[in-house]
């Protein structure tokens, strides 16, 4: 007699498995040079270096790349329970510019999870100095993607 | 006696000159494959194709790239008067997924301009179907970048 | 044999009936002195006077009351199809102060409606001058409230 | 020879003096029945009871009143240094409904303060259960309002 496989995992193991599964299916993330530093239930810390293709003529990072890193940390955080979850609405405040060569670190934490809706805040920093703050709203739209239950519970786009 | 050079330009000519100046100084924008379709006073329409490096394993566009296009249209719109203007806070709502091969078109329009602050809305669509709505808040932080007056009126980061 | 009552209504009649039904059930709205100027499918225009209880010591309107009017216009707009719809996330930008005695007019328009999700923009003005811009995200959570179908399709809070 | 009066105050004393000064000049706040529970540098905790005039026909709190409390906590937080600071842009996510008779508690904390710009998050709860999350963007627009330096450094509306 065996316990169901799912219940045998700790929340941290689920978060790690979810992150590994997402990573394999996300070339965009790898192309951006994103590293996964840490994941846990509702949390994720990612890093990305500001390379030549990401800056404008003043050597400051294009806001789109700062957002992309934050949005990815948000995605890893809200999908850390292994349930198909999408970004519905996100906002970002740019506080200081990012520079060519900077290593951006984005830390996502769960602010709220109620029903199928979640709120996640992501702080983006360089050497400990915050350069942007991000808040993302997520919505669960499917079943478990780590246990093969890919039944949709809702429309794919939130 | 000559009229000042600046007043000899129409608003549309100023917008075009501002866009050309920005384009020359923005390799990030070119690397994304963004095309400038149209610019005017407070407006900008840009396009970008969703290429292989921008999608995840399900062939849907990474939200970061959709944001990057919208943010760029916002930047061209709010800088169309030739005055150094930066993004302060932006929000985006994802309505439908973008797909590999889609040609995204982002149209920015000015909602408000009061003192140094502006609000710009950007609609992102594929073949006329809206896939995301973006609202950006801008702040003027310097003088004219098309007439060489680069004196800062404020801190660079909003 | 009769056609169903619902299909006999025009969209404008549905919007009017929805507004009347909401009005009867909303003492908060009446206590604020809000007037319904116009409603239509996805739209609503409301007015409210800034009275003594709504201002601070500098005779400027408390932002909460400006938001309350905008939020109400949003609610009338997104409920104009007669389907139980709630506010999920709202943002407001304050552009100019409101003053004691000002008559605020809030006009809501539909930006997007996809599945159960909607985006509505509300412009708040005084004598034609915009003082605030609001963007609200709505979610349908039940059946028709004008035809007695109050079955919930989702959790009450978005 | 005396030290300047301002430097003789601790940050907590400055926050308390700022709150007292704001309270005397804010009848709107008192009319809402708001209580100041605690203030500190960058923080404020306020409470408000949901009374009959604040609910709709289903006895749930009008979102405008929940926002008004959060916005007030934000205002006390961002003005806690005694410098004239205004709300520029605010967003709120409604998580659960508030009910007639509920005592709402709003706790504001400082997320960022850089130059004249600030970000403050406010959590609104009832008996420890979160019902809404608010994020406000502030801008310093004047001198000290507790030392009589009311010189404007910027336009009054952000």
pLDDT at residue C22 in the model: 93
Is residue A67 a contact partner of residue B68, using CB atoms and an 8 Å limit?
yes
* Distance of alpha carbon C81 from alpha carbon C78, whole angstroms: 7
* A and C: number of Cβ contacts within 8 A: 22
CB contacts of A137 in chain C (<8 Å) are 88-89
pLDDT at residue C49 in the model: 98
Query: Would the CB atoms of C135 and B137 count as touching at under 8 Å?
Result: no
CA A76 to chain D, closest CA, distance in angstroms equals: 21
Q: Mean per-residue pLDDT for D20-41? A: 94
Q: How confident is the model at residue B83 (pLDDT cuts 50, 70, 90)?
A: very high
C111 closest CA partner among A115, B125, B157, D64: B125
Q: Subunits touching D (CB < 8 Å, at least 3 pairs)?
A: A, B, C
Q: Mean per-residue pLDDT for B97-124? A: 97
In a domain, B81, yes or no: yes
Which residue of A89, A115, A155 is in closest CB contact with C89?
A: A89
The answer to whether C153 contacts chain B (CB < 8 Å) is no
In a domain, D85, yes or no: yes
Q: Which CATH number covers residue A45?
A: 3.10.129.10
* Distance of alpha carbon A124 from alpha carbon A103, whole angstroms: 10
What is the full DSSP assignment across D46-109? Answer: EEEE--GGGB-TTSBBPHHHHHHHHHHHHHHHHTTTSEEEEEEEEEEEE-S--BTT-EEEEEEE
Over residues C93-150, the pLDDT tens digits come to: 999 999 999 999 999 999 999 999 999 999 999 999 999 999 999 999 999 998 865 5
Q: Is residue B155 scored above 60 in pLDDT?
A: no
Which residue of B93, B119, B130 is in closest CB contact with C93?
A: B119
The fraction of chain D above a pLDDT of 70, given in percent, is: 89
C144 closest CA partner among C71, C81, C94: C81
Element (H, E) at A119: strand A117-126
Q: Subunits touching A (CB < 8 Å, at least 3 pairs)?
A: B, C, D
The answer to whether B109 contacts chain C (CB < 8 Å) is no
Is residue C126 a contact partner of residue C102, using CB atoms and an 8 Å limit?
yes
Over residues B9-63, the pLDDT tens digits come to: 999 999 999 999 999 988 899 999 999 999 999 999 999 999 999 998 778 999 9
pLDDT at residue B158 in the model: 37
Q: Subunits touching B (CB < 8 Å, at least 3 pairs)?
A: A, C, D
C81 closest CA partner among C4, C5, C6: C6
Locate tokens 């590293």: which residue? A35
Number of domains in chain B: 1
C123: left (phi over 0), alpha (psi -120 to 50) or beta: beta
The answer to whether C155 contacts chain A (CB < 8 Å) is yes
CB contacts of A116 in chain C (<8 Å) are 155
The answer to whether B2 contacts chain A (CB < 8 Å) is no
In a domain, B156, yes or no: no
* Backbone dihedral angles phi then psi of residue A123, each to the nearest 5 degrees: -105, 130
SS3 content of chain B, % helix, strand, coil (to 5): 25, 45, 30
Query: Would the CB atoms of B93 and C119 count as touching at under 8 Å?
Result: yes
Q: How confident is the model at residue B138 (pLDDT cuts 50, 70, 90)?
A: very high
| Low-confidence stretches of chain A (pLDDT beneath 50) | 1-4, 154-158
Q: How confident is the model at residue C84 (pLDDT cuts 50, 70, 90)?
A: very high
Q: Subunits touching C (CB < 8 Å, at least 3 pairs)?
A: A, B, D
Lowest mean pLDDT among A30-39, C127-136, D56-65, D117-126: D56-65
Q: Mean per-residue pLDDT for D19-42? A: 94
CB contacts of D96 in chain A (<8 Å) are 114
Q: Tell me how far apart the terminal alpha carbons of chain A are, to the nearest angstrom.
A: 40
What is the full DSSP assignment across D18-30? Answer: HHHHHHHT-HHHH
CA A60 to chain C, closest CA, distance in angstroms equals: 27
Q: Mean per-residue pLDDT for D76-90? A: 96
CB contacts of D155 in chain B (<8 Å) are 114-116
Query: Would the CB atoms of C158 and D94 count as touching at under 8 Å?
Result: yes
Nearest Cα residue in chain A from C113? A158
The answer to whether D114 contacts chain A (CB < 8 Å) is yes
CA C1 to chain D, closest CA, distance in angstroms equals: 36
* Distance of alpha carbon B31 from alpha carbon B34, whole angstroms: 8
The answer to whether D8 contacts chain B (CB < 8 Å) is no
Which ranges in chain C belong to alpha helices (H)?
Answer: 11-24, 27-31, 63-78
Other Cβ atoms less than 10 A from the Cβ of A111: the count is 20
The answer to whether C136 contacts chain A (CB < 8 Å) is no
Which residue of B117, B154, B155 is in closest CB contact with D158?
A: B117
pLDDT at residue D59 in the model: 87
Q: Is residue B85 scored above 70 in pLDDT?
A: yes
Other Cβ atoms less than 10 A from the Cβ of B72: the count is 26
Which residue of B89, B114, B155 is in closest CB contact with D137?
A: B89
Q: Mean per-residue pLDDT for C24-45? A: 94
C150: left (phi over 0), alpha (psi -120 to 50) or beta: alpha
Q: How confident is the model at residue C57 (pLDDT cuts 50, 70, 90)?
A: confident
Over residues C58-76, the pLDDT tens digits come to: 789 999 999 999 999 999 9
Which residue of D95, D117, D121 is in closest CB contact with A114?
A: D95
Range of the domain at A132: 8-144
Q: What is the mean pLDDT of chain B?
A: 90
In a domain, B78, yes or no: yes
In a domain, B158, yes or no: no
The answer to whether D31 contacts chain A (CB < 8 Å) is no
The answer to whether A109 contacts chain D (CB < 8 Å) is no
pLDDT at residue A155 in the model: 41
CB contacts of D114 in chain A (<8 Å) are 95-96
Query: Would the CB atoms of A157 and B96 count as touching at under 8 Å?
Result: yes
Q: Mean per-residue pLDDT for B119-131? A: 98
* Distance of alpha carbon C53 from alpha carbon D29, whole angstroms: 9
Q: How confident is the model at residue C27 (pLDDT cuts 50, 70, 90)?
A: confident
* CA distances (Å), origin A135, targets A122, B116, C12, D86, D136: 6, 25, 37, 21, 12
pLDDT at residue B149 in the model: 55
- DSSP structural state of residue B45: E
The answer to whether D119 contacts chain C (CB < 8 Å) is no
Which residue of A91, A115, A158 is in closest CB contact with C117?
A: A158
pLDDT at residue A2 in the model: 44
In a domain, D157, yes or no: no
Q: Is residue D149 scored above 80 in pLDDT?
A: no
Question: Which residues of D, range 62-101, sit inside 8 Å of A by Cβ?
Answer: 91, 93, 95-96
pLDDT at residue C148 in the model: 66
pLDDT at residue C25 in the model: 87
In a domain, D54, yes or no: yes
Is residue A17 a contact partner of residue A146, using CB atoms and an 8 Å limit?
yes
Q: Is residue B103 scored above 80 in pLDDT?
A: yes
Residues 6+ apart with CB under 8 A from A8: none
CA A42 to chain C, closest CA, distance in angstroms equals: 19
The answer to whether C57 contacts chain D (CB < 8 Å) is yes
Lowest mean pLDDT among B127-131, B145-149, C9-13: B145-149
Q: Tell me how far apart the terminal alpha carbons of chain B are, to the nearest angstrom.
A: 39
Q: How confident is the model at residue B157 (pLDDT cuts 50, 70, 90)?
A: very low
In a domain, B92, yes or no: yes
Could you tell me the two tokens for A42? Answer: 């509702």
Angle between helical axes of B63-78 and B11-24 (0-180°, round to 10): 130
């Amino acid at each position: 007699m065996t316990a169901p496989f799912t219940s045998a995992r700790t929340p941290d193991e689920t978060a790690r498995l979810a992150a590994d599964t997402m990573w394999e299916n996300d070339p965009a993330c790898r192309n951006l040079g994103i590293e996964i530093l840490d994941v846990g239930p509702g949390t994720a810390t990612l890093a990305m270096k500001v390379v030549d293709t990401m800056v404008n003529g003043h050597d400051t990072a294009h806001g789109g790349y700062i957002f992309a890193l934050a949005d990815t940390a948000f995605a890893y955080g809200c999908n850390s329970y292994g349930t198909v979850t999408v970004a519905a609405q996100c906002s970002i405040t740019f506080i200081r510019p990012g520079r060519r060569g900077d290593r951006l670190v984005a830390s996502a934490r769960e602010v709220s999870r109620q029903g199928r809706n979640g709120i996640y805040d992501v702080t983006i920093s360089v050497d400990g100095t915050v350069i942007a703050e991000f808040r993302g709203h997520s919505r669960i739209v499917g079943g478990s993607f780590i246990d093969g239950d890919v039944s949709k519970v809702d429309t794919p786009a939130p």
